[in-house]
Chain A
Amino acid sequence: MKLTRREFSAGLAAGLAAPALMRSAWAQGATIKIGMCVPVTGPAAEQGLWAQNGAKLALAAVNKAGGVLGKQVELVIEDDQTTNPGIVLAFSKLAAQSDIVAFLGSIRSTQVQAMAPDVIKVGKPVMIGGTNPDLTHSGNPWLFRFRPNDNYSGRVIADFGVNTLGKKKWAIVHSTDAFGTAGGKALTEALTKMGAPPVLDQGYANQSQDFTPVVLAVKQSGADVLGTYFTFENDLGIFARQLRQLGVNIPWVGSPSVVAVSSTKLAGPALFGTYGVADFAEDSSDAAKTFSKSYRDAYKTAPDNQSAWPYDAITILSAAINKAGSTDPNKIRDAILATQKFAGAEGEYNFDKNGDGLHGYNVVKNDKGKIIYDKHIDFND
């Protein structure tokens, strides 16, 4: 066969172009992409790394088990800078990539609130960890929560104090910011419903240098149990110390900050014997234990809720896409909402129509500085 110069050139061009064409065709459908907005810089950069760790751990397990719809799953990470404008920008960058089928948003309610309008516009599922109840209760069909919302923490604190500890005279101390006010209100409502309205409802401003007036108010109220919503660990530490110094030793059940690692370190013995609610507790279930073991093996450090919720989110999202049999947003949405009795690291997921997966908290105890799991309290509504 005689090759003309023209035929040779055409053949050469086709030969050169073929691998590139094949690569681009392969790339378009080879992986399923999930976008993740997470702090890589800013004050929560460290927690952001834990979140990525959790997500990547779940991703590895999903891919090892055959991936999603027969393809490997790929995580596309964008820095939200731990700020509201940052997450809006990060989300819009990710949303511009049309082959991303779903997203992981933030653990911070305020950031989720900032990105929520864009989430509606994009119309694809976004997994979140922010616990402000309003996020999933204001008509946004695309937000799915992988931590229990704050309504439940108040109910669990009340339930544990009244039914398990048998205490009915409550003093409530809460921060006057959005988190503390909502928490204090939820706790008051839950107690009132249980027939034990609080004898003291005391707010305080964040970054107070002194809590003597608050402690004296608790002392004078004659309360036999204390419920708290503290936002900052240093405020909590100062309060705890002054509480003990002024001789108040009643049982204490608080929001997650009471049992946070940093408060335990700051307040020391002043927090011994206190109870707190926690959405993630290592010993709370077999699923939590399995997650903890693989997390420790992979990263040589203890897991916490920052890494547990993205782990659950990737696991459940992948299962939902498989079940939906398609990457159509509406079908994924239906499949997530249909997820029931799923044992995750954070607890048992039973999605409701709002997109809330969890409906209860673990109660943990500070046992001489060590945080131990006590019991899990779930609600059906």
Chain B
Amino acid sequence: MDLVLQLLFTGIGIGAVYALVALGFVLIFRATNVVNFAQGEFSMVAAYLMVVFSVDLGWPYWLSFLLALAGMALFGVIFNLGVYYPLRNRTYLPVIIATIGASILLSNSVLAIYGPQPQVLQGWFDTPGIQLGPVYLDSQYLLIIAVTILLVLFNFWFFEKTLLGKKLQATSQDKEMASLLGISVSTMIMITFIYSAVLGGLAGILVAPVLFVSIQMGSTIALKAFAATIIGGFGDVAGAIVGGLALGVIETFGAAYISVPYKDGFAFLVLIAFLVFRPQGIFGERVAEKA
């Protein structure tokens, strides 16, 4: 039983990381109908910004955090203008390829600047964790889980209760109709990119103290997050969260009780099973409609 609780905590913790990155995928997909393959690099870039501000320059953690998020907002603007905007009137394929190109450019630029050695980033709390009976709770994972819950609530409020959120939803559902109603589609898409970049960045900063800051940190998480969005239903915010958590728990238990080397295999087995038997995901619309 002790073992199960420990695995459950870890599974939810790592699942929350997938969920945060998956959220970024979903938001951009909803707004532009394009999968952003540079989403993982958003997390990586933010983590390196954090290293620059908090470790290299020695600024206070909270200030570095705010600056890194502000930097990501700016990064979202640049990404939108440089990668999406010039191709906005083309089909989805050139845009997807442009995001793959951006992902390669980003990881190699960081490699050229920082070198291949992983960097260390301290966590928010001085205490590494707490022992609760038989279970050890890592403080950074606790924070990640808490932030994920808050973001779920915030997203619900933002998209359902605010005018801006409704405008964003309208844009993602039907761009032509939205612009007929006087909504500036390109502004809405700009806001989506900014929000996704900040979200991805937040995930990167939160996970950096656990996984260290490295060039590959984004791509390894993004692959799982991508699987999580499909499991949850592409384009569905709640689905991304549930998919991410489910994936984290499934792979942790699979590793513990079946096979550690095939840990990543479980995640993708689940993905394949969903693609075959329920391609629209847990909450999703039919994939055929989206494509």
Contact = CB atoms under 8 A, between A and B. Distances in A.
Interface in A351-369: none
Interface string B249-262: 00010011000111
Contacts, number: 76
A42 to B, nearest CB: 10
A23 to B, nearest CB: 41
A210 B261 contact: no
Interface string B5-45: 01100100110010000000000000000000000000000
Contacts of B221: 209
Contacts of B263: 204-205, 208, 213
B194 to A, nearest CB: 27
Contacts of A133: none
Contacts of B136: 245-247
Given A212-B256, A213-B7, A266-B212, A203 B118 contact: no
Contact of B120 (A212, A213, A245, A265): A265
A216 B7 contact: yes
A238 B6 CA distance: 16
B261 A212 contact: no
Chief secondary structure at chain A's binding surface: helix
B118 A234 contact: yes
B119 to A, nearest CB: 8
A245 B260 contact: no
A335 to B, nearest CB: 38
A237 B10 contact: no
Interface string A175-217: 0100000000000000000000000001111011110111011
- Chain A CB count within 10 A is highest, among B210, B221, B255, for B255
Contact of A245 (B14, B116, B138): B138
B91 interface: no
B195 to A, nearest CB: 25
A246 B138 CA distance: 10
B63 interface: no
A262 interface: yes
A66 interface: no
Nearest to A204: B260
Contacts of A207: 216, 220
Contacts of B6: 212, 216, 246
Interface in A237-289: 237-238, 241, 245-247, 262, 265-266, 268
A234 B212 contact: yes
A262 B117 contact: yes
Contact of A212 (B10, B211, B214): B10
B82 interface: no
Contacts of B111: 43
B7 A203 contact: no
A213 B210 contact: no
Contacts of A238: 210-212
A233 interface: yes
B94 interface: no
Contacts of A210: 10, 13-14, 252
Contacts of A217: 256, 260
6 tightest Cβ-Cβ pairs between the two chains A and B: A213-B256, A213-B255, A212-B10, A203-B261, A234-B118, A176-B261
Given A209-B210, A234-B118, A268-B120, 4 more contacts: A43-B111, A43-B116, A203-B260, A210-B14
5 contacts: A44-B116, A209-B14, A209-B210, A213-B255, A216-B6
